[in-house]
Structure formats: C-alpha cells, structure tokens
Amino acid sequence: MAEKRRRLSRDDWVAAALAALGEGGVGAVAIEPLAARLGATKGSAYWHFANRDELLAAALQRWEHDETDAVIALVSAEPDPALGLRTLLGAALSHPQEKLAVLLAGATDPLVEPVLTRVTVRRIEYLAELFTRLGFAAPVAKHRAALAYSAYLGTGQLWRTMRGTLPADQQAWQSYVDEIWRVLTTPGPPERAPVPDRAQSPRDSG
C-alpha cells in the first residue's frame, strides 16, 4: 500500500514560496512548480490560497515578520544600544543568502516593491535610532544607519556572487562582524566647517 501523503499546511506552502523566491526570484513563486517541489497537488495550494498572488503576499508577510519585526523586538530587549547593535548585526549577517531573499529577488514587482520599501525605511530608521542612543548627532546617526545597511546589502551580495571573498569559518566570521560593529560605532573626526564655494571665493570674484 502506498504511503499516505501528509496534508500540507499553509505554513508549508509559505515556506516553500519563500525558498523559491530566494532561489529564483518572483517568477519562481508559481503554484505548479511549488506543488511538484512539495510532492503535492495544486489543489492543496488552492485549499489555503485563492491564487498565486495571495500565496506570494503571505510569503512576503512572513518574511517581514521574521526578518524585521522579530529582529527589532529582540534588539529592543537589550538596554545597551551598543550591544543591541551588535546583536542586530549578528542576526542580519547570519545566513545572508536567506535574509536577502526578498531584497534581491524582485524589487520592481508590484507586490514586492511596497513591502520592500516599507521594510527598508523601517530598518534604516531603527538603525538611526540606535546610533542616536549611542550619542551620535541626528545627521550622523542617519549616515551611520545608511552605512550599516549598505554593509548588510553588500555582504549579502558577495555571499551570493563571490562567497570566497568572505570569511570561511565561524570564528573568522564573528571577527568580521565585530570589525563592522567597531567601525560603525567608532566616532569620526570632529565636524569640520564647510569648504567655501570656489565660485564665491574672494579670489575668484575680484
């Protein structure tokens, strides 16, 4: 007798959609290939979702919760903003190929773009809040937040395309994350006065 097939849950389909999104982009999130991947029928998907777009929306919602809401909640529980930032970097830079699944998969897709925009704005604003708590002035905190997010995106891109440029073992990886943290939290030189516009300098004007 053939083994009875396990009934797939909504979570099973969402997890498969997220995996496909990270591996093949938005186009990979389609009912028929996902059903084949899961060893299920298309009817199993339609039991939980009205259509493919509803499945994709559910996957994006899961990604936003797991990779943003839950991480911010974890970091916010740490009273020391410096340790909170280190925790955040550790969480964000672990398994970067999974963290960046949506960021690199379909930024121009009409379903993905608004979620991606909302998440990116929220993440950078939260980073700026951490740097403000560390004592940086608001403009500098915004710059540090953008720099931190750039390090996150860059690491993920290297992981996908040139993994050999990144540390290979766990100890070296932790040292890499620590170095990013030290660079981001080290105060820069005193703010300098703006350089005069040459077009308005006395020498040029007369």
Q: What's the rounded mean pLDDT across residues 198-202?
A: 49
Q: At residue 21, what is the residue type?
A: L
Go through the chain and tell me how many residues it has.
206
110 phi, psi to nearest 5 deg: -65, -25
Q: Who wins on pLDDT, 178 or 153? A: 178
According to the model, what pLDDT value does residue 21 have?
Answer: 86
Tracing tokens 């073992």 back to the chain, one arrives at: 169
Least confidently predicted of 10-14, 39-43, 159-163, 202-206: 202-206
**pLDDT > 70 fraction of the chain, expressed in percent and rounded:** 83
Read off the pTM.
0.83
According to the model, what pLDDT value does residue 153 have?
Answer: 87
> What is the rounded CA–CA span in Å between residue 119 and residue 66?
12
Q: Who wins on pLDDT, 89 or 197? A: 89
Do residues 97 and 22 make contact, with C-beta atoms less than 8 angstroms apart? yes
What integer best gives the mean pLDDT of the chain?
Answer: 85
Do residues 26 and 101 make contact, with C-beta atoms less than 8 angstroms apart? no
Reply yes or no on whether the pLDDT at 193 is more than 70.
no
72 to 33, 58, 89, 125, 130: CA distances (angstroms): 34, 20, 11, 11, 11
pLDDT, tens digit, for every residue of 55-112? 999 999 999 999 899 999 999 999 999 999 999 999 888 876 666 666 666 667 888 8
Domain borders along the chain are 61-185
Which residues lie below 8 Å from residue 145, measured CB to CB, with a gap of 6+?
A: 124, 125, 127, 128, 130, 131
Reply yes or no on whether the pLDDT at 124 is more than 70.
yes
Q: How far is CA 130 from the centre of its chain?
A: 17
70 phi, psi to nearest 5 deg: -70, -35
Q: Return the beta strands (E) in 58-188 as ranges.
A: none
Tally Cβ neighbours within 10 Å of residue 87.
Answer: 17
